[in-house]
Amino acid sequence: MAEFRLTHTPSISPTQCFFCEEFVGPFIDSHVDLPGFGRVYICAPREDKPGCLGQMAILAGYVEEAIPLRLQELVQDLQIEIQELKLENDDLKQLEQLVAITRKRAERVYTGEGMDLNFSEERPVIKRGSRQPRA
């Protein structure tokens, strides 16, 4: 029995699928060399297409249940990612609100609005532990 191996970049010419001439991997390397053609590679499934190997597996009935399961896993992963992004978005909205509040406060301090920034008057200094003894 032949030993098949998955490869992303075929190293022996021709570096394409034997059946559809796809040149973007991954591929199954059959380790079979045909005279006048070269090494036989079969394109493997990718996220965007099943490839020749995937089509063969579907026709043979090997992946009828695997495809819906994989899609279900992808949907679950995407739902989790959506939930995480919603939480992150909520955090960012709260942060924006805090920044806006801080800016308003900083503007009031800068302009002196609502705060007594007149330091020209003499103010009493109260030191700790400087209580006057009772007479």
What pLDDT digit, counting tens, does each position of 36-82 carry? 999 999 999 888 888 999 889 888 888 765 666 777 888 999 999 99
Burial 73-91 (b: 16+ CB within 10 A, else e): eeeeeeeeeeeeeeeeeee
With the CA atoms of 43, 49, 52 and 55 taken in that order, what torsion angle do they form, in degrees rounded to the nearest 10?
150
Report strand pairing: 5-7 vs 27-34. antiparallel
Return the half-sphere exposure (C-beta side, CA atoms, 13 A cut-off) of residue 25.
Answer: 14
Q: pLDDT value at position 59?
A: 85
Burial class for 51, CB neighbours closer than 10 Å (0-12, 13-18, 19+): buried
Predicted local confidence at residue 118, as pLDDT? 52
- In this prediction, residue 125 carries a pLDDT of 52
Q: What is the pLDDT of residue 66?
A: 61
Task: Say what the pTM is.
Answer: 0.48
The answer to whether the CB of 41 falls within 8 A of the CB of 29 is yes
